[in-house]
Structure 1
Amino acid sequence: MRSVRARAAIGATLVVAVALVAAGLAVLAVLRTNLIDQADLQAEVAAREVAGQLALDTRYEDLDLDDEEDHPVQVTDEEGRVVFVSKGLQAVSGTRSPGVSPVPSAPAATPSPGDDDDDDDGGDSARPARGEVSSDDPDFSDGTATVGGRQADYRFAAVEATTPAGLTLTVHAGAPLAAEQEAVDTVRGAMLTGLPLLLAVVAAVTWLVTRRALRPVEGIRRELAAITASEDLARRVPEPGSRDEIAALARTTNETLTVLEASVERQRRFVADASHELRSPIASLRTQLEVADAHPELLDLPGAVADTVRLQVLAADLLLLARLDAGEKPGAARLEAGALVREEVSQRTGDRIPVAVEAAEGASYEVNGSRGQLARVIGNLLDNAQRHAESLVAVRVAADGSGVRVEVRDDGAGVPEEERERIFERFVRLDDARSRDDGGAGLGLAIARDVAARHGGTLTVHRAPEGGAAFRLWLPGAV
């Protein structure tokens, strides 16, 4: 099932159905229990009333029975023989004995001493003899009884009574279960009738609410489909005015589109700038080769070599940027930053200004990363300093919090504060009048910052004490 609305409606309906069925069964169980408890009480009262009369030695034929149809009575002796049944009782089950006819051998009740005449001396009349009724909780059982030709279900209570003559009798009195059954059937019928209607209402409401809630999602989907078809990343999906998850989804989608648009624009600009930067040395090299072909004596071999080197460096820079953009992870080798700086400086024999290295002797500044990429960062920073310095280029390595700081300073003109972020963009050169040969392609600082970020560090520019620029590379310490 592909529709979220349908799945939500079915899921909600099933949950409500299970809850209602469980609640309905619980209600029916409680109702049945309460009604049976009431029937037990009625049966117990009827049984104890008869047992009380037997304890007073009342003869069977003189027993006063209330509503014999609703409360049928059966009395048995110690041996389970039926000695008395209420009027109209034609059949019974669920009691001690299924019999409904008193046995002929059943002992009759003895005359009550209370029936004797008063004493001749005119004293008080003699008190009647008394038996006793068991105070234990009665035994209850389910059964049926046929009274006046009609059979029904009853709840029977069994109470023991002892006559003054010492005979133990068991009185079974019943209470009808018709009211209980009718009430349970009525409630069950109401539930069976109302449950489907209620579930239909739940399903319809869930469908409508889900449809209304997902309406903005459909708008977002349509707009995204239109953006995909038109490839116009400047468009944005509609953001609902609510503050729910769908509104958050729309905002996140628009933020993603903004980042994607910027990334695509950056890639387009990168390709255009790379093409422009490659065009100059290629055109120059082609011109020199064509001139050399026609006039070998005019070949500018140093210029051709310089253009070839420039092409090689530019190609290497573009390849490294492509790898960084692809998410290439740096190595995790353990490096000593001071030794890496000294090694890089020692290989720069053609610098016009000697580089001063400031690092405490014997101190260890270990970091994790790629030796080649970090050496490239330091080299790019030194190249930049050499282009702008007047008479000083210095590198300082020191501990900085939980990491290591490598600072490259010069005494040149510095970087204006408003341009300190722009210089890290690709193909950006602040001095437009500077020749490409002197100023480079504008990729060195962009590569340096990207490599620093890939290593979990930062690269920023500040004003040096000497008045020029101070580039600060911070890298986390080795772990």
Structure 2
Amino acid sequence: MNKSSLSLFPRLYLGIVLTVILSITLTRFVVEIYSEREELNFFIRDANYILDYIEDSQLAETAAKQPNIRLPFPFNIEFSARFVDLKTNEQVCTACEFLKTVDNQHYYELEEGERMMQAKLAGLNRDVIIYEKLDSERSSEELSAMDAEMDIGQLIFFLQIAVISLFLGLTIYRPIKKLQAQIKALIHSHRLFGEGNLTIKADENIQKPLDELAASFNEMARAIEENVKERDIFAQAIPHEVRTPLSRIQLASGLIRKKSQDLDVLVLLDDLDSYIVDINELIGQIVEFSRVNEHKDIEGEQYQNIKLRAFVESRVRMLANAHNKSLVLAIDNGLEIIANPIYLRLLIDNFIKNALNHGKEQIKVSAFIINKQLTIEVEDDGVGVPVNDRATIFIPFARLDKSRSRITGGLGLGLPIAKAAADKMGGEIKVSDSALGGASFSFIQIIHHK
């Protein structure tokens, strides 16, 4: 479904403008129709008054000698009248538009827009026509005065329309503008909350029904904030509470190892030590996962210029010494990026740990920038990741194998930590098949600064 290219409020403003224009056009059309009808009524009234004057003045007696009729002031300013010889059913003019008939008097509109009345006088074979003066009958001074009067009338009309439009526009625009500002403030609150500012609250002192939306958002925000605080407290308490008895177990294991020479007991103690190492690593990963998922940057860390090859080499030396696997770096010595070193370390460490756990003999780490897009890729020659499982592996504690060994299967938090770090860095992780035969994990980020 295609969405309109204009957002709600521009479309609303456009609708208001079109509505005002349509209203003005319709108003003018209606006013013109009403004015024409009223002008015709005024003409009928004046023409009948002039007709009565002609009958009362016995001007019909002079019709044969003088067809043009001299009208008294002030009718002689706007009207003309004369006698005409017409045959039966003959029209007074063929180019006229017939308007109506009232009391056997016919009314027409001339080509130039003036109105005319045709009437019969009793006992006279001629008809009387009374019409509004034509432009050809007026002097230049009269025409100039009429044009000026018409211009003033149009100007007044347009000024009235402009004032009405301005009043309507301001009346409608101000509440809509206020509504738009309140909606933008709500959107801003939602955006800040989504970016991690859990203390943000929307202003509830706004008009209905937005106040209900703001109140609902604030209630949700408070619930989420409390939930996150409880989660953080829980995540911080678990390592402390677990490590205390774990230290006692390690102490007890050491004492038993010193006092016992039984081989079965020593083997059991070796397994116990291995479990303690796993639990310590799990605790460390839980702490890392909790910290990287906080809705704020890690305190005290800033984004830095990092020489990527040297950074990766330092991580490889720390992680790969205990593994008898070939690890190849394909990173240019001059490649520099701007990144938070903590997020970058978590990303690369967990990529490499995952490859060391699942790769057979070969691991390859690549990094490059093409068209302002940074790609960091870690490949292995393991069994790979089935397409249907590529989303599952980023869920905490979800593993594709049943092993809990940190050597073969990991503890289930490495890739979720890598994904959380990638999100913090503004990039994404893609999983695909590697040319080495196993899996390829790629971090992709658009470079906005250089």
- Rg larger for: 1
TM-score (norm 1): 0.40
Q: Of the two structures, which has the highest relative contact order with CA contacts closer than 8 Å and spacing of 6 or more?
A: 1
